[in-house]
Homo-oligomer: A and B are copies of this chain.
Amino acid sequence: MQNRNIAAAPSYRGEQLLFLTDEQLRQGIELMFFAYRGFTADPDRILEDYGYGRAHHRCLHFVNRHPGLTVNDLLDILGVTKQSLNRVLRQLVNDDMIESRVGQEDRRQRNLYLTEAGATLEASLSEQQRARMRKAYMDAGPEAVHGFRTVLEKMIDPELRHRVLSLMERENGR
C-alpha cells in the first residue's frame, strides 16, 4: 500500500518536481495521525499507572534531555501556558520525580533536574518509545530513516525550531 502512489509518481529521482496529488498529501496526513497514535501508545500505558498524562511525560523527557533547564525554557519548548505547565510540574515535584533548585546566578529562576525516581520513570517511558522507534527504523532501513528525519524537520514550525536550537547552543556554550 505505501508504495503504490510513490510508484505512480513520475521521475522518482527528483530532478523534476514531485507529482503531488491531493490524495497523496491526504495519505501523508493520515499517516501522521495514525503514526503519532502508535508513537504515544506505549508510554501512555505506563503513565496511567502513575496517574500521569502526556504532559508529565513531556516534562520528564525534556528535563532529562536538558538537566538544569529553567521553567521558562520548558515553557518555550512545550508551547503551553505557565499555569498549565505549573500544575503538572507541581505534581512531579511533590511526587519527588523532579527537583526544582533555586538558580545560582539568577535566584528568580528554578533549575529543574530529575530525581532518581524521576530518572527511573523517564527511562522506562523512553525505553518503550525507543523500542518502537528502533524497530521502525530497523524495518525501514537507513535511507528511509534519513528521509523520515528530513521531512519531519521541514514540518516543524520555523520559529519553534529556532527557539529549540538556541537553547541547545546555549547549553553547549556552558
A residues near B (Cβ < 8 Å) are: 1-3, 6, 9, 11-14, 17-18, 20, 22, 25-39, 41, 58, 61, 65, 79, 126, 129-130, 132-157, 160-161, 164-165
* Beta-carbon contact of B155 and A133 below 8 Å: yes
Which listed residue, B26, B27, B145, touches A6 by the CB 8 Å rule?
Answer: B145
* Beta-carbon contact of B154 and A31 below 8 Å: no
Nearest-neighbor residue (CB-CB) of A151 within chain B = B148
Which listed residue, B38, B142, B148, B155, touches A11 by the CB 8 Å rule?
Answer: B142
* Beta-carbon contact of B31 and A134 below 8 Å: no
Which listed residue, B25, B26, B41, B154, touches A140 by the CB 8 Å rule?
Answer: B154
Residues of B within 8 A of A6 (CB): 142, 145-146, 149
